[in-house]
Amino acid sequence: MPPVIDKEKCSRCGKCVDICSEDVFYGSEKGEIPSVTYPKECSHFAGCVHICPEGAIRLRIPLPMLLAYKPDKEVVP
């Protein structure tokens, strides 16, 4: 699920565009509200959420990523 930008809070600084390693905001210009150009490319590392000075970005984490991993059998070192 792509990042969601609160247009009321966004200061249009472009920090989210600069930090995104997957170019989800490709083509967005500083001084404008970033657009989510490639939503399926979002890797959910949340750099945009943490760098946003206004707290205008949130991520909707897909359910499979929220489920805890449980190995099939106990691993013995």
pLDDT of residue 57: 96
CA dihedral 35, 52, 66, 38 (to 10 degrees): 20
Residue 16: CB atoms within 10 Å: 23
As a whole number of angstroms, the distance between CA 14 and CA 43 comes to 19
pLDDT of residue 69: 61
Mean pLDDT of 19-30: 93
pLDDT of residue 43: 86
User: Structural domains in the chain?
Assistant: 3-61 (3.30.70.20)
pLDDT at 10 over 90: yes
pLDDT at 68 over 90: no
